């Protein structure tokens, strides 16, 4: 037997309508998970993707490793050159770069 049938049998009372209520309960749990966990995460990912597409030279950023710097160059191969100190530049993957919190807050105030 598979796991779903075991769960349905355990959740169903002895009456005949118990099978439908068990299925309804599983659907309800899925709907709650979708609206409280999956959907907000998808919105957040779309927002981050939009921010990465709108990055420009001179934006202050932070990498996923916690390195702060300024974008000096955006390459076509999905990499970014970031200046972390005077004349110190690193090349990182664009997917590991986020706009710094300070820049994001200033953008919302304008």
Domains plus CATH for the chain? 3-50 (no CATH), 56-109 (2.30.30.140)
> Bridge partners of 60?
70
Summarised one tens digit per residue, pLDDT across range 3-26 is 667 666 665 555 555 678 888 889
Which pLDDT value is given to residue 12? 55
CA–CA separation, 8 vs 19, rounded Å?
7
Mind giving me the DSSP string for the chain? Answer: --HHHHHHHHHS-SSTTHHHHHHHHHHHHHHHHIIIIIHHHHHHHHHHHHHHHT--TT-EEEETTS-EEEEEEE-TTSEEEEEEETTEEEEEEGGGEEE-HHHHHHHHH-
Q: What confidence score (pLDDT) does residue 82 get?
A: 95
Residue 108's pLDDT is: 45
- Which pLDDT does position 7 carry in this prediction? 60
Mean pLDDT by 10 residues, the chain (110 residues): 62 60 88 88 88 88 91 91 94 88 51
Q: Check residue 86 and give its pLDDT.
A: 93
Asked if residue 103 lies in contact with residue 60, where contact means CB atoms within 8 angstroms, the answer is yes
CB 61 within 8 A of CB 69: yes
Return the pLDDT at 17.
Answer: 56
Model pLDDT, residue 103: 53
């Amino acid at each position: 037997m598979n796991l779903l049938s075991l769960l349905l049998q355990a959740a169903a009372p002895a009456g005949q309508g118990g099978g439908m209520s068990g299925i309804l309960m599983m659907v309800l749990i899925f709907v709650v998970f979708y609206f409280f966990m999956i959907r907000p995460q998808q919105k957040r990912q779309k927002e981050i993707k939009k921010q990465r597409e709108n990055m420009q030279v001179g934006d202050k950023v932070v990498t996923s490793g916690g390195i702060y710097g300024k974008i000096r160059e955006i390459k076509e191969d999905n990499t970014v050159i970031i200046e972390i100190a005077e004349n110190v530049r690193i090349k990182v993957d664009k997917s590991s770069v986020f706009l710094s919190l300070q820049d994001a807050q200033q953008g919302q105030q304008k």
